[in-house]
Amino acid sequence: MARPVTLFTGQWADLPIEIMCKKAQEFGYDGLELCCWGDHLEIDKADQAYCDERLALLEKYDLKLFAISSHLVGQCVADNIDERHKSIVPEYIWGDGKPEGIRQRAAAEMIKTAKVAKMLGLDTVVGFTGSPIWHLLYSFPPVTPEMVEKGYNDFAKYWIPVLDEYQKLGVKFALEAHPT
Protein backbone atom coordinates (compact mmCIF):
# COMPACT_ATOMS: atom_id res chain seq x y z
CA MET A 1 0.00 0.00 0.00
CA ALA A 2 2.26 2.78 -1.31
CA ARG A 3 -0.30 5.56 -0.99
CA PRO A 4 -3.24 4.58 1.20
CA VAL A 5 -6.64 6.12 0.63
CA THR A 6 -8.39 6.91 3.89
CA LEU A 7 -11.71 8.29 5.03
CA PHE A 8 -12.35 10.74 7.87
CA THR A 9 -15.43 9.50 9.75
CA GLY A 10 -16.63 12.83 11.21
CA GLN A 11 -19.24 13.46 8.54
CA TRP A 12 -20.82 10.11 9.36
CA ALA A 13 -20.59 10.13 13.16
CA ASP A 14 -24.34 9.46 13.27
CA LEU A 15 -23.61 5.97 11.91
CA PRO A 16 -22.44 3.34 14.38
CA ILE A 17 -18.72 2.66 14.04
CA GLU A 18 -19.19 -0.91 12.80
CA ILE A 19 -21.48 0.23 9.98
CA MET A 20 -18.92 2.93 9.13
CA CYS A 21 -16.16 0.31 8.94
CA LYS A 22 -18.28 -1.98 6.77
CA LYS A 23 -19.11 0.84 4.37
CA ALA A 24 -15.49 2.04 4.19
CA GLN A 25 -14.38 -1.49 3.30
CA GLU A 26 -17.13 -1.81 0.67
CA PHE A 27 -16.13 1.55 -0.83
CA GLY A 28 -12.52 0.33 -1.12
CA TYR A 29 -10.80 2.53 1.47
CA ASP A 30 -7.53 1.37 2.99
CA GLY A 31 -8.21 2.90 6.38
CA LEU A 32 -9.90 5.47 8.53
CA GLU A 33 -9.24 8.64 10.46
CA LEU A 34 -11.61 8.17 13.38
CA CYS A 35 -13.46 11.15 14.77
CA CYS A 36 -13.71 11.51 18.55
CA TRP A 37 -17.48 11.91 18.63
CA GLY A 38 -20.47 9.69 18.10
CA ASP A 39 -19.40 6.17 19.01
CA HIS A 40 -16.42 6.18 16.64
CA LEU A 41 -13.87 6.97 19.36
CA GLU A 42 -15.06 8.03 22.81
CA ILE A 43 -12.11 9.53 24.63
CA ASP A 44 -13.76 9.30 28.06
CA LYS A 45 -14.08 5.51 27.62
CA ALA A 46 -10.70 4.94 26.01
CA ASP A 47 -8.46 2.73 28.11
CA GLN A 48 -6.10 0.22 26.49
CA ALA A 49 -8.80 -2.48 26.26
CA TYR A 50 -11.17 -0.05 24.50
CA CYS A 51 -8.40 0.98 22.09
CA ASP A 52 -7.57 -2.65 21.37
CA GLU A 53 -11.26 -3.31 20.61
CA ARG A 54 -11.31 -0.42 18.13
CA LEU A 55 -8.17 -1.72 16.41
CA ALA A 56 -9.65 -5.23 16.25
CA LEU A 57 -12.84 -3.84 14.69
CA LEU A 58 -10.82 -2.05 12.01
CA GLU A 59 -8.78 -5.20 11.38
CA LYS A 60 -12.02 -7.20 10.98
CA TYR A 61 -12.78 -4.97 7.98
CA ASP A 62 -9.17 -4.94 6.68
CA LEU A 63 -8.81 -1.26 7.56
CA LYS A 64 -5.84 0.56 9.04
CA LEU A 65 -6.05 3.49 11.44
CA PHE A 66 -3.98 6.47 10.33
CA ALA A 67 -5.04 9.27 12.71
CA ILE A 68 -7.74 10.34 15.13
CA SER A 69 -9.55 13.66 15.03
CA SER A 70 -10.82 15.83 17.83
CA HIS A 71 -12.07 18.86 15.94
CA LEU A 72 -15.08 19.66 18.12
CA VAL A 73 -13.41 19.57 21.53
CA GLY A 74 -10.28 21.20 20.12
CA GLN A 75 -12.40 24.11 18.88
CA CYS A 76 -13.32 24.86 22.48
CA VAL A 77 -9.76 25.18 23.79
CA ALA A 78 -9.23 28.77 22.60
CA ASP A 79 -12.59 29.84 21.18
CA ASN A 80 -14.96 32.54 22.36
CA ILE A 81 -17.42 30.13 23.95
CA ASP A 82 -21.16 30.69 23.59
CA GLU A 83 -24.32 28.57 23.49
CA ARG A 84 -23.48 27.23 20.00
CA HIS A 85 -20.67 25.15 21.47
CA LYS A 86 -23.07 23.14 23.64
CA SER A 87 -24.24 21.23 20.57
CA ILE A 88 -20.74 20.10 19.55
CA VAL A 89 -19.16 18.85 22.78
CA PRO A 90 -19.99 16.09 25.24
CA GLU A 91 -21.90 17.10 28.38
CA TYR A 92 -18.83 16.44 30.53
CA ILE A 93 -16.93 19.10 28.55
CA TRP A 94 -19.83 21.58 28.55
CA GLY A 95 -20.40 21.16 32.30
CA ASP A 96 -22.01 24.30 33.74
CA GLY A 97 -21.50 26.22 30.49
CA LYS A 98 -19.01 28.69 31.95
CA PRO A 99 -16.48 29.47 29.19
CA GLU A 100 -13.26 29.20 31.20
CA GLY A 101 -14.29 25.83 32.64
CA ILE A 102 -15.19 24.57 29.16
CA ARG A 103 -11.78 25.67 27.85
CA GLN A 104 -9.98 23.93 30.73
CA ARG A 105 -11.96 20.69 30.31
CA ALA A 106 -11.42 20.82 26.53
CA ALA A 107 -7.66 21.29 26.99
CA ALA A 108 -7.52 18.33 29.40
CA GLU A 109 -9.49 16.23 26.89
CA MET A 110 -7.07 17.18 24.11
CA ILE A 111 -4.17 15.99 26.26
CA LYS A 112 -6.01 12.74 26.98
CA THR A 113 -6.63 12.43 23.22
CA ALA A 114 -2.86 12.45 22.63
CA LYS A 115 -2.52 9.65 25.20
CA VAL A 116 -5.26 7.69 23.44
CA ALA A 117 -3.43 8.19 20.13
CA LYS A 118 -0.36 6.57 21.68
CA MET A 119 -2.46 3.64 22.97
CA LEU A 120 -3.69 3.18 19.39
CA GLY A 121 -0.12 3.21 18.07
CA LEU A 122 -0.58 6.59 16.38
CA ASP A 123 1.50 9.74 16.35
CA THR A 124 -1.04 12.22 14.96
CA VAL A 125 -4.21 13.89 16.23
CA VAL A 126 -6.05 16.15 13.79
CA GLY A 127 -8.31 18.98 14.87
CA PHE A 128 -9.29 22.59 15.24
CA THR A 129 -7.92 25.01 17.85
CA GLY A 130 -10.62 27.65 18.15
CA SER A 131 -9.58 31.29 18.05
CA PRO A 132 -10.07 34.19 20.44
CA ILE A 133 -9.59 36.69 17.59
CA TRP A 134 -11.39 35.18 14.59
CA HIS A 135 -14.36 37.48 15.17
CA LEU A 136 -11.95 40.43 14.78
CA LEU A 137 -10.97 39.48 11.23
CA TYR A 138 -13.47 41.87 9.68
CA SER A 139 -12.31 44.97 11.44
CA PHE A 140 -15.26 47.30 11.64
CA PRO A 141 -15.46 48.90 14.01
CA PRO A 142 -11.67 49.08 13.81
CA VAL A 143 -9.64 46.47 15.66
CA THR A 144 -6.69 47.77 17.65
CA PRO A 145 -3.29 46.07 17.56
CA GLU A 146 -3.67 45.54 21.32
CA MET A 147 -6.82 43.48 20.75
CA VAL A 148 -5.00 41.22 18.31
CA GLU A 149 -1.97 40.91 20.61
CA LYS A 150 -4.26 39.96 23.52
CA GLY A 151 -5.85 37.32 21.30
CA TYR A 152 -2.47 35.81 20.43
CA ASN A 153 -1.48 35.82 24.10
CA ASP A 154 -4.77 34.12 25.05
CA PHE A 155 -4.26 31.53 22.32
CA ALA A 156 -0.75 30.78 23.61
CA LYS A 157 -2.04 30.54 27.19
CA TYR A 158 -4.57 27.88 26.21
CA TRP A 159 -2.62 25.85 23.67
CA ILE A 160 1.01 25.86 24.81
CA PRO A 161 0.30 23.56 27.80
CA VAL A 162 -1.59 21.16 25.52
CA LEU A 163 1.14 21.16 22.88
CA ASP A 164 3.83 20.71 25.53
CA GLU A 165 2.09 17.47 26.59
CA TYR A 166 1.84 16.34 22.96
CA GLN A 167 5.58 16.93 22.56
CA LYS A 168 6.33 14.88 25.70
CA LEU A 169 4.20 12.05 24.28
CA GLY A 170 5.75 12.26 20.80
CA VAL A 171 2.35 13.01 19.25
CA LYS A 172 1.86 15.63 16.53
CA PHE A 173 -1.15 17.94 16.46
CA ALA A 174 -2.24 18.45 12.86
CA LEU A 175 -4.26 21.65 12.65
CA GLU A 176 -6.96 21.60 10.05
CA ALA A 177 -7.01 25.19 8.85
CA HIS A 178 -10.67 26.09 8.75
CA PRO A 179 -12.51 29.37 8.90
CA THR A 180 -13.87 29.73 12.44
Q: What is the pLDDT of residue 61?
A: 98
Task: Kindly list the domain boundaries of the chain, sorted by start residue.
Answer: 6-175
72 pLDDT more than 80: yes
The pLDDT value given to residue 179: 58
Q: Dump pLDDT digits (tens) for 157-179.
A: 999 999 999 999 999 999 988 65
pLDDT score, position 1: 57
Contact 77, 107 (CB under 8 A): yes
The pLDDT of 79-99, averaged and rounded, is 95
Residue range 95-141, pLDDT digits in tens:
999 999 999 999 999 999 999 999 999 999 999 999 998 888 766 67
pTM over 0.85: yes
pLDDT, residue 140, reads: 62
What is the tens place of the pLDDT at every residue in 28-63? 999 999 999 999 999 999 999 999 999 999 999 999
Peptide bond into 141 cis (omega under 30): yes
pLDDT above 90 (res 180): no
- Tens-place pLDDT, residues 10-21: 999 999 999 999
Q: Kindly report the CATH class assigned to 6-175.
A: alpha beta
Q: Confirm if 131 and 151 have CB atoms less than 8 A apart.
A: yes
